[in-house]
Structure 1
Amino acid sequence: MRIDFTGVFPALTTKFTPQDTLDLAMFGLNLEAQIDAGVNGVIIGGSLGEASTLTLAEKETLIKYSVEKSGGRIPVLLNIAEGSTREAVKQARLAEEWGADGLMLLPPMRYKSDHRETVTFFKTIAGATPLQVMIYNNPVDYKIEVTLEMFEELVELANIEAVKESTRDVSNVTRLINRFGSRLKILCGVDTIALEELLMGASGWVGGLVGAFPAETVAIYKLAKAGRIEEALEIHRWFLPLLELDIHPKLVQYIKLAEVVVGLGTEHVRAPRLPLTGKEREDILEVIRQGVASRPVLTEYAY
């Protein structure tokens, strides 16, 4: 299925049972809620999906299940975050076999590669597959910035089509557009500044809190792109305290707790992460409960 890299792409959490196995029933419930809300694709095994703790067999199960469950209604992407180029290439080829429509690629894990190494890493993986590729640029968390000069070399490969822009610098959207025009689709990867980046020309939003609030996320996107800025702002201002849960080291636990409150997930995480307890859990619950209690009535917007 062809990916347009336009719209809302949830980075789905991976649901686990109390026995630390995949909870496909709850995963499927959340996936269906995303599709019903009008998302444009889903990303499996991202940072929010606890990629570093998933086995290859679990990634296969999640991709095959997502492809079957979605039934061609939306594209399914696999995130690849590996320290070894060989393993990343292997997973890219397997993703195609499993039925994935595209890939999101992180730079090398656990090694701070330089310009030449980073470009070679990405080009080697993208060159090993016909699948469409989105580069994940997150120097804040992963310590490697994919610079404009790197992208000049990366766009030599036709299947490198998009960037998940997570530098947290809104101006980088304009820099990318000024340099590459429409050659690269830009999707904001930081929930708190997604509206700003959409207004600056980003084509999409790779969301975190969308896992718990898919309809509100889609509404902001559609209103912003329709030029109905005041209406988008109204929802965004309600949403911001919740969106800030996305920019914390415990974003997985925080967003999973939000999914529990709205009936779209479980709190189970995989070690070394641990479930929230005590005052921290109560503080995050209060933020979520306040948001749910004041949730906007979206039918008023007719977006």
Structure 2
Amino acid sequence: MEWKGIFPAFTTKFTSADELDLPLFGKNLKVQLDAGIDGIILGGSLGEASVLSNTEKEKLTRFTVEQVAGKVPVVMNIAEGATRDAVQLAKDASKWGAKGLMLLPPMRYKSDERETVAYFKAVASSTDLPIMIYNNPVDYKIEVTLEIFDQLQEFANIQAVKESTRDVSNVTRMINRFGDRYKILCGVDTLAMEELVLGAVGWVGGLVCAFPAETVAVYRLVKAGKIEEALKIYRWFLPLLELDLHAKLVQYIKLAEQQAGLGSELVRAPRLALVGEERERILKVINTSIANRPALPEYLSL
């Protein structure tokens, strides 16, 4: 498992009958692989994990593993309220063929440092799968501090962090404290280029679901030292990337996927598809960007 490169946080595709739309998911997956992504994350916030049954998670994971056929690792997100449920999902993910886990702190309870560490250690002890800790105190109200990461160093399978504190300086703090012990992947689309320049080795993306080639191109150009070329694409990309920061990021990004021909805007209740002025406003952002889509340099060989 190499925590490096572009890891899309895949949306979960639904039919109008509110069932998994695996053919549409497979269409998007093929385009992502052709664009050069480096891994796949299933069942995250963007994947509407909170409204998926375990049966659906299994079906989606097994389908993805089969379609990917070993080309890139499939990572299952764990965002459970109970420690025992998180431990069980980690075991299930391994059986289903996942090659890694993305692990959030406990959901729906603001655990303190001791409880957060115990939660992470319980899951890490239950599996051999490599783990990326998701550090997002803005949305989930629990910060995984440097002191917590220090206590997690004893677990060799805790290897990476999805850095979503929205403080770019935290990349430097992590590197100053731990060197390359933890691989840092940016988890906020609007800070991705900045964090890649500061030393992040990957990007867990949202808008990559609709614009995979542009996302991979920015990453590879930055890592090849072609900053000016990357910046031109990134500046075009920013209005789209800002859709990742809203509470309705699922609806916004799914609408972008639909407009890009890679998905649909169907979401699962209690989420509702966009309507009225809000939908028109977001459509304008998306369609204007698509109309001005930049020509990409050759990036796959970088």
Q: TM-score, normalised by structure 1?
A: 0.98
Separation in 2, partners of 1:141, 1:66: 27
Which residue matches 1:234?
232
Which residue matches 2:177?
179
Separation in 1, partners of 2:159, 2:297: 34
Instruction: Indicate yes or no: 2:158 matched with 1:160.
Output: yes
Whether contact under 8 Å (1:231, 1:301) holds in the other structure is no
Separation in 1, partners of 2:217, 2:297: 10
Separation in 2, partners of 1:21, 1:229: 43
What is the aligned counterpart of 1:30 among 9, 14, 28? 28
What is the aligned counterpart of 1:103 among 101, 123, 141? 101
Counterpart code for 1:252: V
Whether contact under 8 Å (2:220, 2:299) holds in the other structure is no
Counterpart code for 2:271: R
Separation in 2, partners of 1:300, 1:138: 34
Instruction: Indicate yes or no: 2:125 matched with 1:127.
Output: yes
Cα RMSD after superposing both structures = 0.9
> Equivalent residue of 2:194, what SS?
helix
Counterpart code for 1:43: I
Give the fraction of aligned pairs with identical amino acids, expressed as a percent.
Answer: 68
Q: TM-score, normalised by structure 2?
A: 0.99
Counterpart code for 1:264: L
Which residue matches 1:42?
40
Whether contact under 8 Å (1:79, 1:104) holds in the other structure is yes
Output one character per residue of 1:52-74: Cα deviation in whole Å (capped at 9) or x when no partner.
00000000001100000001000
Separation in 1, partners of 2:299, 2:24: 30
> Equivalent residue of 2:192, what SS?
helix
Q: How far 1:301 moved relative to its partner? A: 6.5
Separation in 2, partners of 1:24, 1:228: 37
Output one character per residue of 1:134-164: Cα deviation in whole Å (capped at 9) or x when no partner.
0000000000000000000111100000000
What is the aligned counterpart of 2:259 among 238, 261, 264? 261
Counterpart code for 1:298: L
Q: How far 1:300 moved relative to its partner? A: 6.4
Whether contact under 8 Å (1:10, 1:208) holds in the other structure is yes
> Equivalent residue of 1:258, what SS?
helix
Output one character per residue of 1:102-129: Cα deviation in whole Å (capped at 9) or x when no partner.
0000000000000000000011001100
Separation in 2, partners of 1:28, 1:290: 27
Runs of 4+ residues over 3 Å off in structure 1: 299-303
The unaligned stretches of length 5 or more in structure 2 are: none
Aligned length: 301
> Equivalent residue of 2:191, what SS?
helix
